[in-house]
Structure 1
Amino acid sequence: TILFFLLIKFLLRKSVSTVVNSMSDCDHFLLEETPPQIPGVLEDGKILNQNRYKPICQTYRNKRRFVTLYDIKNKIPVFSAYKYRGVEGKGRPKKHWKIEPQVVSVCRQSKGDFLWHKQTSYNHQAVDTDFRSNGMFDRGHIIPSSYASTENDKRSTFTLTNIVPQAGSFNKGSWSRMESCIRCVMDKYCTNSSGFTEGFVVTGAQPSFSNILNNRVNIPSMLWTAFCCYSTNMEAWIASAHWGNNVPDDAKNKHLQTKTLAELHDLTMHSLWSSCCSRRITIAAPISGAMAPS
């Protein structure tokens, strides 16, 4: 109906998310404007298979909010990156799961607007129906809404190109607790030379070999995340990494161990930042702020 198309037009005007040609088109969310090194995927800032991996400037209400490198074969993000600036308010916005139409029609040139999910199936990305009634896996945020600064930043994270199938108790349990701890660390220590909160976060998923949701979407075997920032108070760069297997938590109050960037590299071979970020020193006890070598 005319009313339906007018509504869609209104919603599109609020969100203009764009599939771009390279990570450099949306590098202001990356420390020193330098993308991670992901062997076989992203090396020296170049996407090795541009037909498969799509960089997306995640945009909401005409403002770029974060960046994602999306794998259209596995239909999950390789990673998303965000510049943390503190959080203005609490709470989680009402869920409106969105899709990215340039990923939907990857061979078609288009404006790249976010769409509120209506269709049931797309060839190049996950959709809401992939997650319904599966009984085990949540729509797990890569960049969590809890890290987002404003209400509109929070809403921008509810795009299915920022989502992976995540074991429910892992998502709501140890992973959620880790996200809260890291946010507290960044709020306390990540203050730049201008006195503003600023931290750089990269979170990604390790695809499994054959574990598939709804015969379409890869279920990652592992999720990983890391942050790096300069702490004016400590007069040093600080960083830490966490990861966990994408399986149900085996204990009610399970906590993920804080690791170094070097340990994350040894596990995944990913190099996230340049030498300014401490590779072998991390926050050992987030609440007390104690520092310890790996």
Structure 2
Amino acid sequence: MRALLMLFLAALPCLLHARLLQEAEEGFAECNDFFHQGSPPQGFSDPSHARICQRYQGDKHFATLYSPQHKIPVYSAFLYREGADSAQGDWLLEPQLDDPKSSLDEASKGSEQIEGLGTNQAVEEDYASSDYQPGPLFQAAPSVLTNAVPLTQDFKEKWAADVDQLMKEKLLPQCASGGNLHILAGAVPSSDKLKDKVSVPEYVWLAACCSIPEAWSLGVIKKTSAVDDLEQVTVEELESRLPGGVKLFSNQCGGGAVPDGTTSESSTQTDEEEAAKPGAFSRFFQLLFCIVYELVKTVLCFVWFLVKQVLNLVFGRLYWIWTAATTYILALSSVLINIPCDVLQVFANILCGFVRILNNVFSVICLVLRVPTRFLFDMASFPYDTLCAIPDVGIDILSGIWGVVALGFHAVFGVVGGSFSVVSFAGSSIFSRFVGHSEGSEN
């Protein structure tokens, strides 16, 4: 017993530290308590889904199977607790969903510490400038965006009121201990998306399971296109209407429906039952039996946990080997199939290369042949151009000679005219002086 207790204490920190669960981990680790008989729903087998043990302020609050593709939860699992925190205040984010290397292992408000924020989860900016608000699937939980889907204001308020009324009028009165009331709430995405990222749900659903005093269950469905309609169904019918052929509760939670009446069995005891209560000695033995039973149950559960961990390790390794082998075979087959295509592509490239070479050769030949052809044409046209130019050249020569002669005549006439002008001027000057002198003497 001491060895088992030491092993349990040694394994406890590892169990409490996990938040974003890895592929090798089974179920939801320490958050398996939120599921009926510790067994998560079956049939949601998309490998892209992320399993999250939702933790906040050092405590686990609920479990979520999240779809990074649609950026909304597939479902969240809750265990009813009196006085649980309701969704309010700032919206929290899951750091490890976008940054697997983050040291933050619980929901956080510090978005500046998260690398790649919004890659795999919705953020508040995705809801900006739209008619939708982040609406929690179940109100009795912290405000984490991985537990919220896009809802209109009217639908969000109506869904919260419907769930609250369902809890007060049907679920809690019929479950002898609220601590044994397991809640699953989920959404089915439609083709509509906010900013082409966050899927708007086609409908939301809720399933409840109570295992004490008698196992019973129920389900509800609410289409986002019908704000005022809430459809109550059995869990089996709800499972048939969810995609993928899922099983929500282990052993169908007894397969029963909510019993008639609005009061729990503990509040309808008769006077005879009050009188038939056991004495103190009997209650002591009952208490002792319960303690021994719980100890044995705890030990068996822990042993079963160790066995499951070993089996999970073995089968996980086998699965890893099988995955590696199939991946290698598929990759090799793809390469072998692509070889003929690659060979044909190489031959086609070679043929195109030869065609381009021939085209360049012909272009060079045409260029070489074009040069002597033009030269011979110029040589053949030279005599004709020469004879045709003789008259023009003769005319130009005669024009030049006539210009020289005309220039000579102009020069001679210019000299003669200039000389005559000089003589005339000199003669007139002498005559003027002589005539003037004579008139002075007479006077």
Q: After TM superposition, is the score higher than 0.5?
A: yes
Is residue 65–residue 82 contact of structure 1 (8 Å, CA) maintained in 2?
Answer: yes
Structure 2: which amino acid aligns with 1:198? N
Residue correspondences, number: 238
1:99 partnered with 2:93: yes
SS in 1 for 2:215: strand
With normalisation by structure 2, the TM-score equals 0.49
Which segment is superposed worse, 162-171 or 218-227?
162-171
The aligned counterpart of 2:60 is 64
Are 2:185 and 1:203 aligned? yes
Larger Rg: 2
Q: How does 1:5-20 map to 2 (within 5 A)?
A: 18-20=19-21
The offset of 1:230, in angstroms, is 2.5
Rounded Cα–Cα distance in structure 2 between residues aligned with 1:37 and 1:138: 30
Correspondence for 1:77: 73
Aligned to 1:170: 155
Matching residue of 2:173: 188
| AA partner of residue 183 (structure 2) | V
What is the Cα deviation at residue 20 of structure 1? 1.4
Residue in structure 2 matching 1:144, options 139, 151, 157: 139
Q: Which residue of 1 aligns with 2:124?
A: 128
User: Does the aligned pair in 2 maintain the 1:76–1:161 contact within 8 Å?
Assistant: yes
* Structure 1 residues without counterparts, runs of 5 or longer: 1-15, 42-48, 146-153, 290-294
1:38-84 CA-to-partner distances (Å, cap 9, x unmatched) read 3443xxxxxxx1xx211111111111111111111111111100101
Structure 1 17/138 Cα, relative in aligned 2: closer, same or farther at 3 Å? farther
Question: Alignment partner of 1:221: what SS?
Answer: strand
1:171-218 superposed Cα distances (whole Å, 9 cap, x missing partner): 211x223211222133212224xxx6420001111122x210122111
1: CA distance, partners of 2:20 / 2:111: 20
Amino acid at match of 1:190: C
Decide whether the 8 Å contact of 2:215 with 2:254 is kept in 1. Answer: yes
Equivalent in the alignment of 2:406: none
What are the ranges of 5 or more consecutive residues in structure 2 without an aligned counterpart?
1-16, 265-443
The answer to whether the 8 Å contact 1:140/1:165 transfers is: yes
Alpha-carbon offset, residue 231 of structure 1:
3.7
CA contact (8 A) 1:190 1:231 kept: yes
1:262 aligns with 2:236: yes
Partner of 1:160: 145
Deviating above 6 A after TM superposition, structure 1's stretches of 4 or more consecutive aligned residues are none
Alignment-derived partner of residue 403 in structure 2? none
Quick one: structure 1 residues 183 and 219, their matched pair in 2 at CA, closer, same or farther if it must change by over 3 Å? same
**Deviations along 1:76-116, whole A, 9 cap, x unmatched?**
11110010123368xx565111111111124x364424221
Quote the Cα distance in structure 2 between the aligned partners of 1:214 and 1:96. Answer: 22
Q: Distance in 2 between matches of 1:94 and 1:67?
A: 18
Q: 1:134 to 1:17 in 2, by over 3 A?
A: farther
Q: Distance in 2 between matches of 1:76 and 1:93?
A: 16
Q: What amino acid maps onto 1:112 in structure 2?
A: D
Paired residues of 1:139 and 1:163 also in contact (CA < 8 A): yes
Question: Secondary structure of the residue that 2:231 maps to in structure 1?
Answer: coil
Contact 1:167 1:248 in 2 (8 A): no
What is the distance in 2 between the residues matched to 1:93 and 1:78?
18
Structure 2 contact 220–231 (Cα < 8 Å) conserved = yes
CA distance in 2 between counterparts of 1:17 and 1:59 reads: 9
Distance 1:17 1:94, change over 3 A: farther
> Is residue 239–residue 283 contact of structure 1 (8 Å, CA) maintained in 2?
no
- State the SS of the aligned residue for 1:241: strand
Contact 2:39/2:249, CA 8 A, preserved across alignment:
yes
Tell me which protein shows more helix as a share of its residues: 2
Q: Give the 3 Å change call, closer, same or farther, for CA 206–264 of structure 1 in structure 2.
A: same
Amino acid at match of 1:162: N
CA contact (8 A) 2:87 2:139 kept: no
Aligned to 1:53: 49
CA contact (8 A) 1:17 1:100 kept: no
Structure with the larger RCO, 1 or 2 (CA within 8 Å, 6+ apart): 1
Q: What residue is the counterpart of 1:275 in the other structure?
A: 251
Q: Aligned to 2:220, what secondary structure does the other structure show?
A: strand
Q: Do the aligned partners of 1:201 and 1:228 also contact (CA within 8 Å) in 2?
A: yes
- Give me the whole-angstrom Cα distance separating, in 1, the residues matched to 2:225 and 2:59: 35
Q: Distance in 1 between matches of 2:179 and 2:147?
A: 24
Q: Which amino acid aligns with 2:208?
A: F
Contact 1:81 1:200 (C-alpha < 8 Å) held by counterparts = yes
Q: CA RMSD in A?
A: 2.6
Residue pair 2:79, 2:179 contacting (<8 A) in 1 also = no
Equivalent residue, structure 2, for 1:87: 83
1:114 aligned partner: 107
Q: Distance in 2 between matches of 1:218 and 1:165?
A: 7
